[in-house]
């Protein structure tokens, strides 16, 4: 029994790291621009379909497809911010909400029109391989996806810490007026930030495609999932997003196994409510 529980926890933890990378994108966007990306899950599913197409046509392993997809998503994010979202910076939340919900509606129904409602699996040669470590079995795809997710997150962390652009973006997040006063090109930096947020989404979606089958119906659930993780971990905290992802991943896995798969997100929402009430800034967030 203990071995099974441990097995479930490990699997949930690995999935949770991919969730964490997805949420990281949301956290970066909100942390810097105070825009809540309500189309986050929809864009994640677009990345899943991108991975699916690249695999079907070019037989590209999603672990490799991750790079071009993330790069394209960076470009898409940059353009989205420059054109559509920019006028909404600093506007009321409900106005941003309608804009992004409109975008989400267009995306998810576009996917439905193009691909139909059926789930699209990626059948890798190692899809059903697993490692046996001390009595527990771990899916190979989850291990690889989790490693890739942590690698991308680490690269992002280094980017924000050590590059000039990364530092400039953090400056915008800390003090927008100050950043503008010292001559930073805020518009440009915001577009880069949104691009980075979407690059996370592109990478996470590609990895997610190896764990779950792409389907338009996942989109809204992923948006809510990303929110839950980010709030639990702490909006604007990069480490928090990963920790939140792991927590939610493990709680989903345990609830799915011991209670009922259909009730797994109920536990995530319960966790969200508890965190919001006891520690509204999230586990790793700064005091509100």
Stretch binding other proteins (CB under 8 A), from 175-183, 220-228, 236-244, 246-254: 220-228
- From the list 47, 32, 33, the residue with the least C-alpha distance to 222 is 47
- From the list 88, 76, 39, the residue with the least C-alpha distance to 219 is 39
Please state, in angstroms and rounded to a whole number, the distance separating the CA atoms of residues 19 and 11: 12
**Is residue 119 at the binding interface for other proteins, with CB under 8 A as the rule?**
no
- From the list 242, 225, 224, the residue with the least C-alpha distance to 233 is 242
Instruction: For other proteins, give the closer residue by CB, 15 or 265.
Output: 265
Least Å distance, CB 48 to other proteins, is 17
Least Å distance, CB 129 to other proteins, is 33
Residue 17-46 contact track with other proteins, rule CB under 8 A, x = bound: -------------x-----x----------
Whether 138 and 73 have beta carbons less than 8 Å apart is answered as no
The token duo for 176 is: 């927008």
Instruction: For other proteins, give the closer residue by CB, 28 or 103.
Output: 103
- Phi then psi for residue 131, to 5 deg, are -95, 140
Q: Are strands 130-133 and 136-139 parallel, antiparallel or unpaired?
A: antiparallel
The token duo for 54 is: 């690249």
The token duo for 283 is: 């586990």
**Is residue 123 at the binding interface for other proteins, with CB under 8 A as the rule?**
no
Candidates 21, 222, 227, 252: give the one binding other proteins (CB under 8 A): 227
Instruction: For other proteins, give the closer residue by CB, 191 or 231.
Output: 231
Candidates 109, 163, 167, 185: give the one binding other proteins (CB under 8 A): 109
Please state, in angstroms and rounded to a whole number, the distance separating the CA atoms of residues 24 and 204: 9
Candidates 171, 231, 242, 247: give the one binding other proteins (CB under 8 A): 231
**Is residue 57 at the binding interface for other proteins, with CB under 8 A as the rule?**
no
**Is residue 287 at the binding interface for other proteins, with CB under 8 A as the rule?**
no
CB neighbours of 123 closer than 8 A, spacing ≥ 6? none
Which residues of the chain form contacts with other proteins (CB under 8 A)?
A: 30, 36, 84, 87-88, 91-95, 97-99, 101-106, 108-110, 112-113, 117, 220, 224, 227-228, 231, 235, 260, 262-263, 265-266, 269-270, 272-273, 276-277, 280, 288
């Amino acid at each position: 029994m203990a071995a099974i529980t441990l097995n479930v926890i490990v699997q949930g933890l690995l999935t949770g790291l991919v969730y964490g990378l997805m949420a990281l994108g949301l956290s970066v966007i909100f942390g810097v621009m105070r825009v809540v990306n309500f189309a986050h899950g929809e864009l994640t599913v677009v990345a899943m379909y991108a991975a699916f197409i690249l695999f079907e046509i070019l037989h590209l392993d999603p672990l490799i497809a991750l790079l071009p997809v993330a790069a394209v998503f960076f470009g898409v994010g940059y353009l989205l911010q420059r054109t559509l979202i920019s006028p909404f910076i600093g506007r009321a939340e409900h106005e941003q909400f309608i804009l992004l919900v409109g975008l989400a509606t267009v995306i998810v129904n576009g996917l439905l029109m193009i691909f139909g409602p059926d789930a699209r699996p990626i059948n890798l040669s190692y899809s059903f391989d697993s490692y046996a470590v001390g009595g527990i079995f771990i899916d190979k795809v989850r291990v690889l996806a989790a490693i890739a997710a942590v690698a991308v997150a680490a690269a992002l962390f280094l980017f924000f810490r050590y590059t000039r652009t990364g530092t400039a973006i953090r400056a915008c997040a800390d003090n927008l007026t100050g950043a503008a006063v010292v001559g930073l090109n805020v518009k440009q930096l915001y577009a880069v930030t949104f691009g980075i947020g979407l690059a996370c989404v592109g990478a996470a979606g590609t990895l997610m495609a190896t764990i779950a089958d792409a389907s338009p119906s996942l989109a809204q659930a992923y948006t809510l999932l990303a929110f839950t993780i980010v709030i639990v971990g702490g909006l604007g905290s990069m480490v928090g997003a990963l920790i939140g992802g792991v927590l939610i991943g493990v709680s989903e896995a345990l609830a799915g196994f011991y209670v009922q798969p259909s009730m797994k997100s109920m536990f995530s929402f319960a966790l969200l409510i508890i965190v919001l009430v006891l520690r509204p800034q999230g586990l790793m967030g700064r005091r509100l």
